[in-house]
Each structure stands twice: as structure tokens, then as C-alpha cells.
Structure 1
């Protein structure tokens, strides 16, 4: 129906333009009768067109200004003003086409959800495994779920298993479930084949409920109310009363027709859609696809933003944050061997480990004799050694020692995942991985507040401690943890009391909330998902601060639309008064109305003009400089972690500061020159981009503090070594360790500061 309607509107517009142009050409050649006939045909076309629109509005029981157009067109024909009628028809048809395109919303298909839903299941019978349609599965049946398959119905595990539950929770890390635990349909088995006993049927399973949630939430989305409709409530009765009074006082229907012609609401039907379409176009250039004028208006009205965490405020993909060597082991070599065997692994953590090794410039070997234990780890030969990389429980078994337990505790404290590296039967290192917070997320939240958003909420399926940490860093008002899709829907209902809601997410599990919110915003830089199908707004760039700019553009476009309507209709009302007084004939009124229309359109076209946004547009030279400094910045990450590692290894039982002296040489050789380059190049660059030197004051202060702490370390080590005959004491070791830990804290804070305040100005886009 939508496609047919668009074709009809385009056909009416084409005919209106042809008839108006043909009449003008005939009039120019002196064929006035032909011109009047062509213009009359155009007016009749417009009358039919307006009557159809008015009828549709009446059936839908909504206010409309189309009645004015009907009366104006009929009146123009009645008093012999066909040109005015033809012009009105062209204006009406143009406005309808523009509004149809601006307000059209993309169909919210559930194709990705339904395509992913399992169609077949493996039933375990006395005769073996039998593949059957999922609809035939009943309660308490035994099913086999192979590696990589989607769990078809809810069930209870008969043994331990590992699942990718991101479709339901949005969390990227695989989850281990013990035997006897309940597992939901829609999750993917990433471990060995597993057996389960069904507890639901396919129709009542979790995944089927998720699909229904999307459909129900879509049905509750508020309909778009046109700008014209809001004005029509007062404008239509006023116009009809004024035309009736003019006719009654003058006793001449021409005056009434003049009032109606001048009152033709083209500023409502044309200028406002132009402003909205301009806003859609400008948003698209920012990498924000807004699905129609309806969504743009609701985006402009938003007051509360609810964020999912994973993939929205965080990257959505684990990254290596630290490599911990055991007993002084070479962490680079451990990472190199781990990445070598992980090159052929399909595990979700293998890719980040390989990326981390390559980013450090490590040369990887081609592994051999590789064996993968799905969901647990991988074993292979690389560099002449036998290497195992995987989950701590798989590597240590029942022999987890104090060091392995400390690694696990540190990972739990940081909300990280840990992977152990074993070389020739000896555990040599632990790799910590974490889903990092997007560096532009804190600035995006501040930008949202400056754009008029009053409340920011984080709603995530992750556990409370991890969610609270992200919420504190990013700066949200409220954190809601352990949320499933229905919890997010309930949260949206509660938050709607504070104003229109905007939901931002990127996973299948976010689709119901995206459809239920006043505006759903999906991140789709890594590819289309069910969330982008259910959303009203889709970010095609991998940076969330574009959302704040889209809100600014939406509010500016809506404001300009209202300005164009206010000015246009205000002038129209003055012209209506003049027509009622007999100062304007229908022909002059039609000409004046077109001038008013052009003025309203000119005001609306201001929405096309650029305006200052939150996104920073850096010159190409500054981009190159920023990229170079960022490469150096990332390359120093192992050196920063080495500061903590050296501090950890210092022992008062066997005092030795040789490692600290080697570290100091590296800091003076590699770190300090980079920090000085940052002060010389990065600080002025950021100040220019943000138009403020105050904005970089803290950055300069931490540069100075880092250099100060390194110089203190030099003085301390020199003083300890001043007397070669004096032995190193435990107090000397404690002083050096304390200084190193302090330096490490400053460096970590400073790196986060630069990531957020400087390097996020030109973020690295995801592949």
C-alpha cells in the first residue's frame, strides 16, 4: 500500500506540473481559452486529490487542513480563477510528496530474528539421533545440540556446556553452564556437543517470546503527528469563520473565495516537510540514518536516553588489556606463542589476542598439530614448543596454584576475562581481556546533556559491579544491571514518566526495547542486525557521539519547521484579514500567497545550512598528526604495564633494583620523548579543535607529573647507588616500589585521559 500511495502522489504531482506548465505556455502564445482549460483541469485534479486526502483524514478521525484546500479549489473554479486553482494543486501535490517521503518509516522487518530461529532439532531416541522439525518437540524430550548450533527450545543441561548468549543478553563473553543448569533457546553452543532435557515447546520458548516482544512493542509505538495537524485544530475553524463573515458582511462570495485562496496552507504542507527532509539529509551526512520525518520529530522531542552497554557504551568486542608474566617470564614471547596458535582458532577471544600481538610488532609462527577444544582453548606447536592457550580451568585443571588464583581474582575485580598460556607444560603467563569503554562515550553523554537530554540511563544484562563501573566513568544518572529484554521494556515504561524516551542498543536482545521506545537508535557500524531493523535511527559510523549531533540536527530542523510555519501562517492570516476587508481579489491573493509560500520555503531551507555540532572536523594535517601520536601512544602500552610488573617483582627478601634501573632507562628513552611530543603537538591540536586552552590544562598537568615522577625515580635510584659499598636495604626496595606504583597509576589515568579527550576526536573505525 505504501508503494502504491507513493506512486499515486508522484503521478498527481507530475500531472499538476504538466497542466500548469501547458496552461502557461498556451497563455504566452495567446491561447487564453486553452490556458484556462488546462488550468481548470489542474484545479479539478487538485480538488479530487484534496477530497481524497480529506476523506482519509476523516476516516482516521484526525484533524486536517485539507478542507481549506478543498474549499479554495472549489471556490477558485466557481469565481473563474483557474490559474489560482492550478497553482494550489501543484503546491499541494509537491507538499504531499515531500511529506510522504519525510514521514515514511522503514518497515520493521523481523527477518533477521526469524531467519536465525532454529527450524530443526536433534532428538535423542532409542534408535539414535533423529532430526525433526522444531515444532514437533515436546516437554521432557532429550535433544542433542552440536557445536555451533542454536539451542532450539528451553531446556535443562545433563552436563556442563559453554554458550554464546549474546543474542539474549548482549554480552560477548562465552558463558559456562554446569550440568543441571537451565539454558534458554536462542543461545549458541560454542563448546562440545551437549545434551539437554526440554522444559518448553518451541512456541513457548524464550526466543519465540523475544520475537513476539518485538512485534508487540512495535504495535505500541506512538504514531507521527504532522506539524500541519497540530495547527489545523485552530486554523481551520478560524479560516472558515473569517470566510463566512466576509461573505455575510459584503454579500459577495468572491471575498470568501479570496480568503480561502490566501489561506491555502502551503507553509504547512510544503515548508515544514522541506525543513524535515533537510534534517534527514544532514543527519545522513553525519552517518546517522533517520527513518523518516516521524522519527526525526520524535528524536528532537527526546528527553530521556536509555543505553545498552555492550557494543554501545563499550566496544562490544574484548581487547587485551594486560599480559602478566609468571616468575619473570617474557610477556612478549608468551603473547607471541599464544597468538601463533590462536591464528587458527575460531574462539571469540582468539582474534583479540592475535591483534594484540601484531600491534606490538611481534612475528607470529605458523602453528602445527593444532587441536581445539571448543569453548575451552587450543593446543598446538609453535616456535619449537608445545603451547596451550585457554580458560584457566582447562589449563590448570584441579592444580590451580596461588598465582593462578591471584590472576583470577584480579580479572574478577576488573570485570575482565583471563586466558592462561602454557609452554611445554609450564604456565608462563596470563592474558587479561576486557570489553573497553568507547573513548568517545563520556563526551557523548556530556554532549547529550548540552543538547537538552535531561536524563541518561544505563540498562544492561551484565552484572552490577561491571555495569556500575561503566556508568560511573561514562557519567549516567542511573544504572540498571542484570536486565533481560523484558526488564528493559519495563525500564522504558518507568523512564517514560520523565519524558519521551530514546533507546540505544546494538544487539538482537535490544530489538524489543528499540521498538517500544519513542525513538529506537541502533548501532550498525559492524553490519545490519535485528536491532537496526527495529530501530527508528541507525548509526552507520562506529562512534556514539554522532547521536548527540543527530539530536541537535533534529531539534534545529524541527525548530526551523515551526518557524517557517509560524511566519508563513502568520502572514497568511494577515493576508486573510486583508482579503476579508476586500483589499485583495482572488487573483492578487493567489499571487500574494505564493510570495508567502516562497518566504516560508526560504526559511525552511535554512535547515540545509551547516551549523556547529559536537563532532570535531579536524584538518587533514591534524588527523595525520593525531594518528602518528596515537600509534606511539598504543605502542607504549607494554612499557606502561612493565612499570607495574617491575613493582610487583621487587622483593624485600632479596633486594635488587636491577630491573628498576632497566625500566628507568626505557622510560627516559621511550616514554619521556613521547610525552614531550604530546605536549608540543597534541595539546595545541586539541586546544584548536575544542576552541579552548582550558580544556587541555589537565592534559598538560599530567604530562608534567609523569616527567616529575620519572625524575624522582632517577634521583632515588641514583641515591641508592651513590655508595657502591652500601647494600640495598628493604626500605630502599619499598621506596622504589611505592614510587613505581604511583607512576603506574598516573600513567594509566593519563592514557585514559588522552583516549577520551584527544584520540577520540578522530577514532579508529571498526573493521
Structure 2
């Protein structure tokens, strides 16, 4: 059908109902009948096409309903059915066109031109003309047009679109560069290794298209019921006619079998769910997506920009001892004003938030991807990577201690040198979104069985984020294709949802049963491939829309089941001659009103959970679990107090035993509490997220336990006094957190025990 036909069909059906109500009786019947016959003709044509493909759906029931209504002179009913069908067709057509248009936007992002060297001159050519071996110039801010390798020097690249890594990376001469990344530093020369059609970005576009095409279509709820209703209706009508010899009985069966609970109630509930989601800033592109979301039990998450904020944030400025952190921040931020680098901007922003006055730097020299130096307030300041800052600078023992701590904590930072001596380091991170832990807890509380983080980052850094977020599994170092494979494997185990925000997530979003894109910053490749788009920058909308989808689908199934059950009962009365066609039509309209009113409940929220008591035996088991860990907690406390006062050999021996028991006893217990116990307990407590504080201390226990494990693995025999001092500091922190956490849990268990 041409694009203009569906709006025209809806306009005709929309005008027919009020025009008929205002017209004389005979004219009204003609108007309503004409509208219904037009819809019936369109349905008949489409049904014939579907039958040729061996497909059957609710459209066949709708056609029977229209013809049956006209046969019993219920032209208004037929016209209303035609109106509903016309509206549904237009909505379905609009969503399909939107999906195609958004997919084309992904293609439009690809570079169109490239700068090629030819006879010592530059020429701008279409990217399709680039051949392997050509030397190209990639300027600042440009998207790399084809795959290739750096020729001279180094390239500073923003690879977040492909890997999800927030910080720029450096590629040296001879290293491979993939198309689709952005040059974040000085211009560099690239030797093309592949034509544009075979490069990385073109492959991502192809994967999106292939994934969308290979994904099995989600069968509509109404169509599944129709497969059972069609033969039942026709069989019962034929049997009634054959046994009684009265064609009116068969006609009455068809009238009361009018599938308005399918045609109206199910779509009303589904559309109500879509409407509620839209009010929360979430676009669900069609009803089939909402149904699929309601069934999702396995969630996959991208890391950078999805579970994390996706930008660089200053955590702290650590001093080696000579200058206070505030002074280091002021000097470093003053110099950083001259650089557009993400890290520099984060440092300047942090200084402004602390109200520091920054002077203007002079004689600034920047090495892209390494650091910058210059004069600030009469001092020579250098700021950047350790290798850059350490050139010709004095490295104090305090700086080596800071570097060792950074290695244990997997922290990223830029060092600050003042007048030829490294004085400290600015620590940066891509922090978890504030709502990430709550989101995952809410999903687990809602019954999500497994949550997996997919990322292109290195495993150690990814594990830290994964533990803090609360996912069940971390898959690190993945390419876009490997993300697709991980999602595809998950689909074999149940319905899946993938959440992401970058170009690298687009293929996985398209391959999942439901792709959920974060697109608050504008249109991205992820929103083009996804079927659910978050228009607000809030990850905690996901458990909201999951519950909305489940409730909407539950109400839709309930409406269909009750409505069709009443219709089946009416069909039996009609087959026995106890319900004439006219009375049957009126009864069916009453059933329709009932199920539609029930379906409209999906526009409202469900009831909130009130606090309830736990069984006393359950509480006692929880207390026994705490009691079993009490000796271990005492050991943590004692060793935290006296570790550095023990002989080195004894301290090392006791420390290794304690760290082993922490990994074997404490951390598995806390992980079991977070993943299994807390979702159950939350159902007995009032409030939106009653265990948020306890989950926060869980994350701190996991972080400290992981850091102690890493430090213990590097412990010498006998350990040095410096290493023992670092570990003691962490043990004191762990002891404090454990004391608070277990006290809070004991209080909670007492509250839930209402004996």
C-alpha cells in the first residue's frame, strides 16, 4: 500500500462514525456499511496475501466480525471495528517507516570524503575511491574513513564509538586504526589497508542490518489467540447450523464471536503501557516490543555510558607531601585551561567547583595524548602521564607509593610536577551512574534471572565496575561482533534485553529480543538499532518500564481470556438457540465494554508492596549465618589493630590466612545476600528501595576485598613494613564497614521477626 493510503483509511473510518450518528437512519446505515466494507476489502486483500505465505492472524477474525455485524444489520458495530483496525494499521505503518529512517541515519554518520596525498599535494576524494595503500591525512575532529595504520609519530583517538572506552588512546606508528573512530589529537597520516566497503564501520552497519533481519518476529498476542479461536468459531457455527437447520443460529454464533476483546482490549492495554512509558520519558516503538520486554529475564549491559556516566571525573588530588592537594589542584587546573583534553576539562571543572581562582598559564606546550607543560604563577608546571612528567623530574618515594596504590586500585591518573619535582597525582575515573546499583537491584527484585556486562575494556578494570554495579557476569575485551555472539548465546536460554548507548552497541541491540538505547544526548546509532529508547538520561527507568510492560501484558492477557471466555459461553447459548443474533450483538457489546474498561487499568500504576513479617525460622537461619561469620570478623578487627606491630614473618602468615578466609567465606556470603537474599527481603519491606544502604555497604565490602586480594597476591615473604602499612589501612576500613553492615543487618532481621 502507498504511504498515503493508511491515513486516508483512518480518516474515512473516523468520519463515518459521527456522520452516521447525525444522519437519518437509512443514510447512517449506508455510511457505516460503506466504511466497514472498505475496511473489509482491504483486510480481504491482505488475508489472501498472508494465506499465500501460510500465515493466519487476528485479521481473519476481524473480517468475519465485520461481515457478521453487517449480516445482522449491526452497521455501527462494523464501522467501529473498521475504525480500530484503521488506527492500528496506521500505527504499525508509522513504526516500520521510523525504524527504516533511523537505520539510514546510522549509515549517514559514515564519512563521505577523505583527504589523500597525491604528488606531494592533498586532494579531497569520495571515500569509495580510497584504495589499499593510499596515504590519507586525518585532521583533528574527523572520523577515520577507512581501516589503516599510523605512518609517523602517533595518533590520539577517541575510540568510544567502537570500544566504549571513555578516555582517548594513543596509537603509535605501525599500529592499526579502525574506521569510525575520531581523531582527538594532532593531524596524522594513515596508510589505508582496506577499502571503505570492507572497513570496520561498514561492517557494523552490515551487522545491524543482518541482526535485524535474522531476529525472529515476535508473534502478536492477539494472533496467538486467533489461531485457536478461528477453527473453534467456524466449527461451532457449522455444528449449530447442521444440527438445527437454522442459519440464524450459525449467524448468532458468529456475532457473539466478534473478537473485540482481541481487536480492542489487548491493543488498549498494550498501548496504555506504551503511553505510560512515554510519560516516563521512554519510547517503546511498537506493541510487539512491549510484549517481548515483558518476557525478558536476561539483561545485557554495556559499561561505558550505560552503567557508568561515560565522562571523566576527578576523584581526588593526592600529594606526595610537600604541597597541599588544593595548591596542586590550583596549579594543575591553571595549566589545564590551555588544553581541550577530557582530563584537562575535568580538572578545570573540579577547581571551579571548589571555588579556586585560576591564573592564566604562559608558554604552554602540549604533546597530544601525553601531557602539557608551561609557566603558572612563576612556576614551571608539567601535567600528564607519568612517563611524560618524569622526563628530567625528581621522583620521590612518596610518588612511588602513590603509583603502587594506583596499581592495586586500578586507578587512572595524571601526575603534576612543579619546578622539576613530581608533587602529586590527580586521580580520575568514569564513575558508576548514581542510579546504576538501584537499577540492578530493582531488576533483580522484579525477577530478572541474570545480568551480564559486556565491554571492550580490559578485564581487571571491568571487574571493578561489574562488582560495584552488581552484575552476575562480566564479559570484557569484546568486539562489537563478540557482543552480538554473547547476546545470541543468551537468547538460547530465554528472552533477552540489551542496554547500550554507543555505536559499538548497535549490533547487539538489534540482535537481542529487546534493544534498549540511552539516547538523552540526541540520536545515536544505538537508538536507531533499538526498539526501546530512553529519552531521559536515567537508567532507573528500565525497571519501571519492565514492570509497566509486564503489567500491561498481564492485563491484556486477562482481558482477552475473560472476554473470550464470556464470548465462548455466549457462543454455546447461541448454538443452542437461546440467544438470537440481535440479543447476541448487544451482549457482545456489553462484553466488549467490560474488557476494555479492564484493559484501561493499564494506564494506572499497580499497588505498592507493604511491609510484612518474615517467618521466625527464616529469621533464625539468617542470624545463624551471621553467627558463623563472627569469628572471622573478630580476626579482621584484631589484625587490623596490630598488623604492623607483629614480626614481619608472623604478620605475613596471619595476613595470608585471613585474606584466604575472606575470599572463601565472607565475600561469597555477602554476594549471596546481595544476589538472592536481598531481592526476597525487599518484598517484605515498605518503600521503593528499602535495602539501598545495605547494598551500598556490600559494594564497599566487595571493593575492599578485591583490593586486598590483589595486594595479598603481591606480598613478599617476609612482607615489607610499607606493604603491611598499606594493607593495615585497608583492613581498618574493612573492619569499620563490616561492623556497621552487620549491625544494620541484625537490626533489620529483628525488625522482620514479629514474634
Is the pair's TM-score, using the shorter chain for normalization, greater than 0.5? yes
Shift of 1:700: 11
Using a 3 Å threshold, how does the CA distance of structure 1 residues 455 and 2 change in structure 2: closer, same or farther? farther
Task: Tell me what 2:24 maps to.
Answer: 26
Shift of 1:111: 4.5
Shift of 1:99: 6.7
In structure 1, how many angstroms separate the alpha carbons of the residues matched to 2:243 and 2:18? 39
Structure 2-normalised TM-score?
0.78
Task: Tell me what 2:196 maps to.
Answer: 202
The within-5 A match list for 1:411-450 is: 411-450=406-445
Using a 3 Å threshold, how does the CA distance of structure 1 residues 408 and 168 change in structure 2: closer, same or farther? farther
Contact kept, 8 Å, 2:438 with 2:689, in 1: the verdict is: no
Task: Tell me what 2:91 maps to.
Answer: 101
In structure 2, how many angstroms separate the alpha carbons of the residues matched to 1:70 and 1:347? 63
Task: Tell me what 1:284 maps to.
Answer: 278
Alignment partner of 1:124 is 2:117:
yes
Using a 3 Å threshold, how does the CA distance of structure 1 residues 345 and 510 change in structure 2: closer, same or farther? same
Contact kept, 8 Å, 2:106 with 2:528, in 1: the verdict is: no
2:687 to 683, 686, 690: 690
Partner of 1:191, secondary structure, is coil
Alignment partner of 1:13 is 2:13:
yes
In structure 2, how many angstroms separate the alpha carbons of the residues matched to 1:38 and 1:161? 71
Shift of 1:591: 0.9
Task: Tell me what 2:748 maps to.
Answer: none
1:481 to 476, 481, 484: 476
Partner of 1:498, secondary structure, is coil
Alignment partner of 1:336 is 2:330:
yes
Partner of 1:147, secondary structure, is coil
Q: Indicate the larger mover: 98-107 or 227-236.
A: 98-107
1:497 to 489, 492, 496: 492
Shift of 1:324: 1.3
Q: Spell out, residue by residue over 1:202-238, the C-alpha distance to the aligned partner (whole angstroms, 9 max, x if none).
A: 1111111112111211212332322221011110011
Contact kept, 8 Å, 1:507 with 1:529, in 2: the verdict is: yes
Alignment partner of 1:541 is 2:531:
no
1:312 to 306, 309, 316: 306
Task: Tell me what 2:511 maps to.
Answer: 516
Contact kept, 8 Å, 2:399 with 2:423, in 1: the verdict is: no
Task: Tell me what 1:114 maps to.
Answer: 107
2:78 to 88, 95, 102: 88
1:241 to 224, 235, 244: 235
Shift of 1:357: 1.8
Alignment partner of 1:139 is 2:137:
no
Shift of 1:556: 0.6
Task: Tell me what 1:70 maps to.
Answer: 63
Shift of 1:607: 0.4
Using a 3 Å threshold, how does the CA distance of structure 1 residues 88 and 693 change in structure 2: closer, same or farther? closer
Using a 3 Å threshold, how does the CA distance of structure 1 residues 612 and 747 change in structure 2: closer, same or farther? farther
In structure 2, how many angstroms separate the alpha carbons of the residues matched to 1:144 and 1:443? 46
Contact kept, 8 Å, 2:694 with 2:741, in 1: the verdict is: no
Contact kept, 8 Å, 1:72 with 1:257, in 2: the verdict is: no
Using a 3 Å threshold, how does the CA distance of structure 1 residues 544 and 489 change in structure 2: closer, same or farther? same
Using a 3 Å threshold, how does the CA distance of structure 1 residues 405 and 697 change in structure 2: closer, same or farther? closer
2:255 to 236, 248, 261: 261
Using a 3 Å threshold, how does the CA distance of structure 1 residues 266 and 344 change in structure 2: closer, same or farther? farther
Alignment partner of 1:220 is 2:217:
no
Task: Tell me what 1:762 maps to.
Answer: none
In structure 2, how many angstroms separate the alpha carbons of the residues matched to 1:19 and 1:568? 30
Using a 3 Å threshold, how does the CA distance of structure 1 residues 112 and 573 change in structure 2: closer, same or farther? same
Alignment partner of 1:589 is 2:584:
yes
2:180 to 186, 192, 197: 186
Partner of 2:7, secondary structure, is helix
Q: Indicate the larger mover: 152-161 or 329-338.
A: 152-161
Alignment partner of 1:392 is 2:401:
no
Shift of 1:129: 3.2
Shift of 1:372: 3.8
The within-5 A match list for 1:342-381 is: 342-381=336-375
Q: Spell out, residue by residue over 1:132-178, the C-alpha distance to the aligned partner (whole angstroms, 9 max, x if none).
A: 32222212222222232222211122232221111110111111222
Partner of 2:219, secondary structure, is coil
Aligned residues: 643
Q: Spell out, residue by residue over 1:20-42, the C-alpha distance to the aligned partner (whole angstroms, 9 max, x if none).
A: 424xx524xxxxx4444444434
Using a 3 Å threshold, how does the CA distance of structure 1 residues 506 and 174 change in structure 2: closer, same or farther? same
Q: Spell out, residue by residue over 1:648-693, the C-alpha distance to the aligned partner (whole angstroms, 9 max, x if none).
A: xxxxxxxxxxxxxxxxxxxxxxxxxxxxxxxxxxxxxxx9983798
Task: Tell me what 2:664 maps to.
Answer: none
Specify every segment of 5 or more residues in structure 2 that has no aligned partner in the other structure, as ranges.
Answer: 610-683, 701-721, 743-755
Task: Tell me what 1:175 maps to.
Answer: 169
Using a 3 Å threshold, how does the CA distance of structure 1 residues 570 and 112 change in structure 2: closer, same or farther? same
Contact kept, 8 Å, 2:467 with 2:699, in 1: the verdict is: no
Task: Tell me what 1:633 maps to.
Answer: none
Q: Spell out, residue by residue over 1:43-75, the C-alpha distance to the aligned partner (whole angstroms, 9 max, x if none).
A: 434533442453353355321243344344434
Using a 3 Å threshold, how does the CA distance of structure 1 residues 404 and 122 change in structure 2: closer, same or farther? farther
Contact kept, 8 Å, 2:6 with 2:89, in 1: the verdict is: no
Using a 3 Å threshold, how does the CA distance of structure 1 residues 195 and 500 change in structure 2: closer, same or farther? same
Task: Tell me what 1:563 maps to.
Answer: 558
Contact kept, 8 Å, 1:417 with 1:434, in 2: the verdict is: yes
Partner of 1:203, secondary structure, is helix
RMSD of aligned alpha carbons: 3.3
Partner of 2:99, secondary structure, is coil
Q: Spell out, residue by residue over 1:586-622, the C-alpha distance to the aligned partner (whole angstroms, 9 max, x if none).
A: 21111111100000101101101122579xxxxxxxx
Using a 3 Å threshold, how does the CA distance of structure 1 residues 261 and 398 change in structure 2: closer, same or farther? farther
Task: Tell me what 1:166 maps to.
Answer: 160
Q: Spell out, residue by residue over 1:283-327, the C-alpha distance to the aligned partner (whole angstroms, 9 max, x if none).
A: 122222211212111111112111111111111112112211123
Partner of 1:107, secondary structure, is helix
Using a 3 Å threshold, how does the CA distance of structure 1 residues 563 and 364 change in structure 2: closer, same or farther? same
Partner of 1:311, secondary structure, is helix
In structure 1, how many angstroms separate the alpha carbons of the residues matched to 2:699 and 2:528? 45
Partner of 2:606, secondary structure, is coil
Contact kept, 8 Å, 1:155 with 1:197, in 2: the verdict is: yes
In structure 2, how many angstroms separate the alpha carbons of the residues matched to 1:204 and 1:736? 55
Using a 3 Å threshold, how does the CA distance of structure 1 residues 466 and 734 change in structure 2: closer, same or farther? closer
Using a 3 Å threshold, how does the CA distance of structure 1 residues 320 and 63 change in structure 2: closer, same or farther? same
Contact kept, 8 Å, 2:157 with 2:170, in 1: the verdict is: yes
Contact kept, 8 Å, 1:19 with 1:41, in 2: the verdict is: no
1:271 to 231, 253, 265: 265
Q: Spell out, residue by residue over 1:365-424, the C-alpha distance to the aligned partner (whole angstroms, 9 max, x if none).
A: 344554443333334444444433223222223757355555444434333321122334
Structure 1-normalised TM-score?
0.77
Shift of 1:738: 8.8
Using a 3 Å threshold, how does the CA distance of structure 1 residues 735 and 136 change in structure 2: closer, same or farther? closer
The within-5 A match list for 1:738-749 is: none
The within-5 A match list for 1:601-620 is: 601-612=596-607
Using a 3 Å threshold, how does the CA distance of structure 1 residues 37 and 207 change in structure 2: closer, same or farther? closer
In structure 2, how many angstroms separate the alpha carbons of the residues matched to 1:508 and 1:746? 43
Contact kept, 8 Å, 1:445 with 1:475, in 2: the verdict is: yes
1:575 to 557, 566, 570: 570
Using a 3 Å threshold, how does the CA distance of structure 1 residues 537 and 701 change in structure 2: closer, same or farther? closer
Using a 3 Å threshold, how does the CA distance of structure 1 residues 373 and 752 change in structure 2: closer, same or farther? farther
In structure 2, how many angstroms separate the alpha carbons of the residues matched to 1:53 and 1:329? 79
Alignment partner of 1:51 is 2:12:
no
